Structure 1
């Protein structure tokens, strides 16, 4: 089976590597254009592009696939490349571009998407983050037959995974990426023998995983400690939960809900000890256990405090400026 692959980040790279290991022929990879990254803001190829080049696969990087859009030349060149690939199917994983109708119908078996949730919950851009943030106990991967809607296509294969109470987006991402790679191989093998049984998504339970914005990173200490704990986990590795402490902005990379009583207004440091920084919230106490100062590294809170002492009674967040 000839399979065109469309994807950009590491989540997609795992699936591409799994397809190649399973013996599928991948004549063409579509991925996002190189982007500036790192301190030097040098152009950097996506994880998928790097993997494709390492395997000697042709790569196309259109800025758009809409023939009547802003970059018609990019779309036309991509169309020519896709037609020349003579693909039986196209696999899409975290690609980042909308696929118009001409793309969806070009491969003989259409386009199969690897989506990191159990649809119809968490359609959209950030299903892993939002599942942790919402406190979901389970998530999973859906292999979906793509249509022109936003993650609305028929389900082909579904498998669930439990979300551990300490999971971060980084940890859960890796398990879901591995699951997605395994399921897409199974789906294509079933497709080859006509064994797929598409099922419409349930009408009930639709939620949308909106893109993560940097503005969401700021910790609102009036919220309950349990919600803030989920926020910290959901925003690791991006964008990282943060709070002001005096004139500095601290990143909070790890925390736990403390077995303690709130005795101070939200955002107040109630205690500092070997276990971390205990901060009052709107409901309960959150203990900060891993922090990062501007320009520094992620470190245990006790290490950060050696050069940046936080004192009981000090106010964090918006209250710090008051």
Structure 2
């Protein structure tokens, strides 16, 4: 039985940890995750999904704000772990920790060397990629730059968003890790270096990137909206107030960018730089998210054809 330290934070990581826990090949000595954070309007302190799963299995949990030079680091190095598995942990691993184990691998949600960084799933959707995937790679002292052990892809459809792709890639990563890790540990798989000429990055989405540019094509805006749903959510402005668009669909129509082209009790069509979008799930300032029909039946009743978003 291989003794492991697992490091991860969101649901993606929890699915990978869950897979390791179902296998008789591994013993999880400790779980390291980000500190509990205040979330939502009420700022309630919430445990990470990985911590919830770890506690449910009575596993020791470490939550250093910064692992490097922390008291937790020395404790982890004394556990006698043979290896480390990380998945969307959110911190760099100190070189001393990497040197203390026989191997350290990461489950990354992209087809490396494309999309190194913290938001690969978002960028795959925003950029309109035809496929996404996961890569199992060796951990090194550079972000997502380690040699690649294995990768697997999945097609992206127009019905996908960050949430659906996140869930699918988590299962894909879990299954791929369980499939290749025994052979890798046994020395039967030789990790391959990444081609530096093909490296691209996917940094965390900035607030400025959340704002919709209606001069872009309807396909580009559509990809941005689904590439930010269910988080962080794309937004525009309506009558000077922030207006979030959670879901929309491609539509035909011509007009000035951001202009309302058609309006009924149940539908609202907005022009893009090319083509149009039919809004489906929205959130006006100070309101909960709602269907476009509910919005038009409430605070959106004073809208008219010819009105503009983002003006």
Q: TM-score, normalised by structure 2?
A: 0.94
Query: Match of 2:100?
Result: 106
Q: Decide whether aligned partners of structure 1 residues 122 and 275 sit closer, same or farther in structure 2, where only a CA change above 3 A counts.
A: farther
Question: Partner of 2:245: helix, strand, or coil?
Answer: strand
1:277 and 2:279 equivalent? no
Between the aligned partners of 1:253 and 1:16, the Cα distance in structure 2 is 30
Between the aligned partners of 2:79 and 2:118, the Cα distance in structure 1 is 28
Query: Match of 2:258?
Result: 267
* CA distances 1:85-113 after superposition (whole Å, capped 9, x unpaired): 2111100111111112112221112x100
1:57 and 2:59 equivalent? yes
Q: Decide whether aligned partners of structure 1 residues 34 and 214 sit closer, same or farther in structure 2, where only a CA change above 3 A counts.
A: same
Query: Match of 1:48?
Result: 50
* CA distances 1:230-267 after superposition (whole Å, capped 9, x unpaired): 0000000111111221243221111122122x1x3211
Query: Match of 1:71?
Result: none
* CA distances 1:48-71 after superposition (whole Å, capped 9, x unpaired): 11111110000111111222xxxx
Matches within 5 A, 1:90-129: 90-109=84-103, 111-129=104-122
- How far the C-alpha of 1:295 sits from its partner, in A, is 4.0
Query: Match of 1:292?
Result: 283
Which of residues 183, 187, 207 in structure 2 aligns to 1:194?
A: 187
Q: Is contact 1:7–1:48 with CA below 8 Å preserved after alignment?
A: yes
Q: Is contact 1:275–1:289 with CA below 8 Å preserved after alignment?
A: no
Question: Partner of 2:12: helix, strand, or coil?
Answer: helix
Query: Match of 2:21?
Result: 20
Question: Partner of 2:281: helix, strand, or coil?
Answer: strand
Task: Structure 2 unaligned segments of length 5 or more: list them.
Answer: none
1:82 and 2:76 equivalent? yes
Between the aligned partners of 2:175 and 2:279, the Cα distance in structure 1 is 36
Task: Structure 1 unaligned segments of length 5 or more: list them.
Answer: 68-74
Q: Is contact 1:225–1:281 with CA below 8 Å preserved after alignment?
A: yes
Q: Is contact 2:265–2:297 with CA below 8 Å preserved after alignment?
A: no
Question: Partner of 2:53: helix, strand, or coil?
Answer: helix
Query: Match of 1:153?
Result: 146
Q: How many residues align?
A: 307
Question: Partner of 2:93: helix, strand, or coil?
Answer: coil
Q: Aligned Cα RMSD in Å?
A: 1.5
Query: Match of 1:304?
Result: 295
Matches within 5 A, 1:233-252: 233-252=226-245
